[in-house]
Amino acid sequence: MNTKEFNTLLIGNSNFLKGFALGFTHDTQDAEDLIQDTMMKALRYKNNFREGTNVKGWLYTIMRNTFINNYKRKKFQNTIVDTTENQFFLNSGAQLQENSVMASINEKDILKRIDSLKPDFKVPFNMFLSGFHYNEIAEEMGIPMGTVKSRIFHARKKLSGQLVDFQP
């Protein structure tokens, strides 16, 4: 089949593709683009077409694969980057204020409970909360590291019993 015959065959079947293109895209402009892409690929790969083959099926397969590939490409490219500055707080003012007030109240209650610990437990526990490692606490307080671990464990245990209301 020569080029002129092949082009005539493609043009004759372009109306056949319109219905499928609209079914895939649900938009007239996108359907026209899909038909054009299909025709371009058919022209590019005309050497793969064998005379006697169902040209409509061949064109439909090209269209379907083109649509799927374009869809996947668009799906991965649809990452939305929000360049606005802090506008997500616009509608959450009351909720945000309520949360910060509750957090402040909860923090005061928790700190009050920590202060109620005996000094032997409170000092190593506060040091641990401040970021000290067990060996640093042991060295600073002049006690064995096992004792530090034990006191922090018992402080946690006592606090978790007193702060039941704050646990998720």
3-state SS track over 94-131: HHHHHHHHHHHHHHHHHHHHHHCCCHHHHHHHHHHHCC
In a domain, 68, yes or no: yes
In a domain, 30, yes or no: yes
State how far the Cα of 27 lies from the Cα of 31, in Å rounded to an integer: 6
In a domain, 18, yes or no: yes
pLDDT-wise least confident of 62-76, 97-111, 132-146: 97-111
**pLDDT one-digit tens code per residue, 106-147:** 777 788 888 888 999 999 998 988 888 999 999 999 999 999
Query: Are residues 117 and 67 part of one domain?
Result: no
In a domain, 86, yes or no: no
Q: How high is the pLDDT of residue 62?
A: 92
In a domain, 142, yes or no: yes
In a domain, 84, yes or no: no
Query: Are residues 115 and 69 part of one domain?
Result: no
Domain of 56, CATH number, reads 1.10.1740.10
More confident call, 90 vs 4: 4
Query: Are residues 67 and 7 part of one domain?
Result: yes
Domain limit, last residue, from 77, 93, 123:
77
In a domain, 83, yes or no: no
Domain of 150, CATH number, reads 1.10.10.10
Q: Residue 49 gets which letter from DSSP? A: -
Name which of 63, 75, 73 is nearest 24 in CA terms.
63
- How many structural domains does the chain have? 2
In a domain, 99, yes or no: no
Domain limit, last residue, from 55, 77, 99:
77
Please report which confidence band the pLDDT of residue 50 belongs to, taking 50, 70 and 90 as the band edges. confident
Q: Does residue 35 contact residue 21 with C-beta atoms inside 8 Å?
A: yes
More confident call, 167 vs 59: 59
Query: Are residues 111 and 72 part of one domain?
Result: no
Query: Are residues 113 and 47 part of one domain?
Result: no
Structure tokens at 107: 């923090």
Domain that holds residue 125: 107-163
Q: How high is the pLDDT of residue 150?
A: 94
